[in-house]
Structure 1
Amino acid sequence: MREVTASGPQDTQDRGQPGGQPHGLSANPSLLAAGAAGFTAAFAVLWAVRGLPGGTLLFWAAPLPLFAAGLAFRPLAAAVAGLLAAALLGVTAGIAPALVFLVLFGVPAALLLGSWRHGSLGLALAMLGLWPLVVLLAAALFLADDGGLDAVMRAAVEAVLLRLDMPASEALVTTLVRLKAGAIGFWVAIALLGNATAAARLLERRGLLAVPAPAWSRVRLPGWYPLLPPVAALAYLAMPEDAVPLSALLLLLVPLFFQGVAGVHRRLEGRQARPALLAAFYMLLVMFLQVMGPGLIGLALYDQFRRRAAPRNS
């Protein structure tokens, strides 16, 4: 290809690109997407680490580019993006933010996408309970010589209450320690599902989604998953003073909770007032989570063992 300049016709074909064909990174859109996603995710987390305005929102949106890369190409792109983002954070912000990013977003995003791309939304949903459980058990093992996970979490809760100038009563600290791991797992699961759904819809509108759009309302956990919470419950009954069994139980119940929410969506399909009913449902869920949470878990178990589509308008 030639172009005319002030000095005459010039050959613009890259000598290293025979026939004008791209080579290297420019010939691999998957790696290009992974690089862009990694830089974007690292930027979002770094913005939050520096305490800049809107940092909290950007932090929880950090998995969005990872899911976009993985859904447009393949899970390997999301894994590469996560590793790149962690490396950039390690250089610019330190090891701690990089590890937090990997544990909260990098690894679970790759696990969810791997299950999703293989056609198993149920396994992807199960990962929202299994991966936090692995992290919990690894932390308990790692902190065994420092008084155990319970002591470390208690010290962290007391430090936060002191910073907030709130009285750190024994009852309050004990309650927060017992619920902290489950609350973190629940919130991270919401962030992962929200970002995955947003990325899928964004790519679908542009014709870039490489997998079928997820039908989350019809998701069903693997048949073996409901057996895990009873095991954690038995461990809690055997060791009621230890925070690990209760935390494990709460984490394992998170996927069942979301399957119950999916059951509500499925039962409202085809109804004219569906948007208003869903809005009322979520408002009540936020206001009465302690009551509706167990109910949704029960609904999930009902749908799981009935092994049939939930009746519409029931």
Structure 2
Amino acid sequence: MSEDRRLDVLRAIVEDYVATREPVGSRALVERHTLGVSPATIRNDMAALEDAGYIAQPHTSAGRVPTDKGYRVFVDRLSTVKPLSAPERRAIGSFLEDAVDLDDVVDRSVRLIAQLTQQVAVVQYPSLRRSALRHIELVPVGPRHLLVVLITDTGRVEQRTLDAGLDLDELLVARLRAQLNVCVAGRRLPELTTALRDLGAAFEPEHAPLVASVVAIIEETLAQESEERVVLAGTANLARGGADFNNTLGPVLEALEEQVVLLRLLSEMAEDEAAVSVRIGSETQHVGLLETSFVTTAYGDEHGAIARVGSIGPTRMNYPGTMAAVRAVARYLTRILAGS
């Protein structure tokens, strides 16, 4: 039996099952696809695919459906991800470029992926741990209070108010602001502790308490806000496709509510060599996600990848379409964050 023909049969089964949600028989393959062989030969190929664990027969006298192993072979043999159409790309660009800040970009991105895929969309928020500081602003808001504003290269803004404990000198505040930005601009979180530690040496001893207080509130803010988080949209799409799940939707929804589960998967998938990573069924290694697949890719800025975006749906998903949508949104996110 031809190995290439067997894989063509598997591809046809996956495509038909995704399109119809019905088990696929040999007669349907002959009618819908030009495989160049007789129905008897296709039946033999299907028997071999079943023996190898790529397809399964859900019940007697039924057609075949792909298994997780079969989907994996199908995905791995996608030589290229078909790009979205020009109108689709223009629509994505227009929708995302109208965002007013980072929160709006993330919110628009997750809703856009959910709409494009009709599945659950996941966007990992740019973490301060992976971001670099672009600027620190110090703004006196009274005789003794100082607003400390941190702005990252991804557009994330964090601010805290500091009680200086003494009347503020505007010249000292301006000098401290300048020195801070020399120390931190362009540095990522792991590099900041060392850079900030030596800042006090640039100031007179009588100014040390103010410098120490500002450094402390910066470090405290970075520590508090470095926690990873994800944003979801389109959970209702799973309910509309409930027939794809043999069990109830409960375990799936519970898994999606556990951000630690999604963050673990995103972290593991970040190590994959493929530009667009796919975890299918049991590959997620979580009992609640055994009937789902997770498609993700990275987005970033001029320094490289900082987080991931993705889509979660039933294993019977349109893999090429989902991969194309996720990749397209990630590319626009990267373009926006890089300021190009």
**TM, length-normalised to structure 2:** 0.23
Q: Which has the higher strand share?
A: 2
Higher-Rg structure is 2
Q: Which structure carries more relative contact order (alpha carbon 8 Å, separation 6+)?
A: 2
**TM, length-normalised to structure 1:** 0.24
